[in-house]
Amino acid sequence: MPAPSATALLDWYDVHARRLPWRVPPENRALGVLPDPYRVWLSEVMLQQTTVAAVKSYFLDFLARWPTLPALAAAPRDDVMAAWAGLGYYSRARNLKACAEAVARDHGGRFPDTVEGLSALPGIGPYTAAAIAAIAFDVPAAVVDGNVERVVARLFALETPLPDVKPEIRRLTATLTPQQRPGDFAQAMMDLGATICTPKRPACALCPWSDPCLARRRGDAETLPRRQAKAKRPTRYGVAFVARRHDDALLVRRRPDKGLLGGMLEVPGGDWREGAPPEAAPPFPADWKTAGEVEHTFTHFHLVLSVKTTEVGDRPPPAGCFWLDAAAVAGEALPSVMRKVVEAATDRPARRQSRHARNVLAPKRTIFDR
């Protein structure tokens, strides 16, 4: 059998590379155009746990508002959180801001050009460090996302299920990664998995690595990589109180920085617990009416919220809360679950009124399924 050739994959990539707003196309890269590390970093952080389709408009809007790293580092954190609303996994937004500040403060506004230096920055783990090093600085680092896992598992017919097989996939990816054009090679591997070596019905006849692929020869490529059975998600229950003032302002509070949806706005409510729906005291006495239920699925649990609503006159907010002007609701940092709650209570859209709206509730994927 022939060995997988990096040259064959790069030749395929030169013709079939996806056009993405954060990417330098291979023909431009051949002319000496260098990737902007800021754009590479921003896209990689956004793509964690999120689809390419959902990220594109957010990426372009972030660049329009903060075209450089110093601009993002100087931006108010609340503005960054609001711009992130709908992308989910909000710790990424907090780390994004912290990382921009660290690079501006400690590195003169320039990203480190090594995996080790990048790994020391807030919010940059092993995968992201390798991806930035390879794509932005042409470091021959092994970049392994879900597309690459799928390609390598099939190429070498690896039977060990995920996640146990990950170290072997990283080792094999390192053996494939060339010293020349490692950034293009990393993106070629991602594109191969996203467009040819897809989870279902891979287009093996079009693959530049069809000949050396063991799974293709065995005829079971679609069954790889193997996966362990997922544990059943528990269901948690809670109550959400939607209070509207006479001028349509919404009563909200800010969640703690640490934990789920950290730093985001929410309407008042009780704890989210498994078992029977818990009792929760409203933020103030009023004629609270039941507006139905809202369901939302997080990574590790499914959530059912009972929505209560009321309308009040000009009254001060209770401790820990504030009134959010109606005009600001669509632009503030309301996570998707809270937008669902507000919509259920008011029968009006609470999503961002922009091109983000079509993507905010799109199914989220891990960075390994871009």
Answer yes or no: 332 catalytic: no
The β-bridge partners of 81 are none
Residue for token pair 């508002």: 65
Q: Please, where are the H alpha helices in the chain? A: 6-16, 26-30, 37-47, 52-65, 69-74, 77-84, 91-106, 115-119, 126-137, 146-155, 166-176, 182-195, 214-218, 326-329, 336-346
In tens, the pLDDT along 346-356 reads 865 554 444 33
Spell out the long-range contacts of 115-124 with Cβ–Cβ below 8 A and sequence spacing 24 or more.
Answer: 115/139, 115/141, 122/95, 122/98, 123/45, 123/91, 123/92, 123/94, 123/95, 123/96, 123/98, 123/99, 124/41, 124/99
Q: Percent of the chain scored above 70 by pLDDT?
A: 92
d(CA 137, CA 36): 9
235-346: which CATH architecture?
Alpha-Beta Complex (3.90)
In tens, the pLDDT along 208-264 reads 999 999 999 999 999 999 998 888 899 999 999 999 999 999 999 999 888 888 888
- Nearest-CA neighbor of 60 among 31, 22, 29, 91? 22
> What is the pLDDT, as a whole number, of residue 240?
95
d(CA 297, CA 304): 9
**Out of 44, 101, 149, 332, which one is annotated catalytic?**
44
Q: What is the secondary structure of 285-329 as a DSSP string?
A: -S--EEEEEEEEE-SS-EEEEEEEEEEE-S-PPPTT-EEEPHHHH
Domain locations in the chain as residue ranges:
6-223, 235-346
Q: In the chain, which residues have pLDDT < 50?
A: 351-370
> What is the pLDDT, as a whole number, of residue 15?
98
- Which region holds residue 138: left if phi is over 0, alpha if psi is between -120 and 50, else beta? left
> Packing angle between helix 52-65 and helix 77-84, nearest 10 degrees?
150
pTM above 0.85, yes or no: no
> What is the pLDDT, as a whole number, of residue 331?
62
CATH number of 6-223: 1.10.340.30
Q: Which amino acid is at 93?
A: A
d(CA 299, CA 364): 9
> What is the pLDDT, as a whole number, of residue 364?
34
Residue for token pair 């996966």: 227
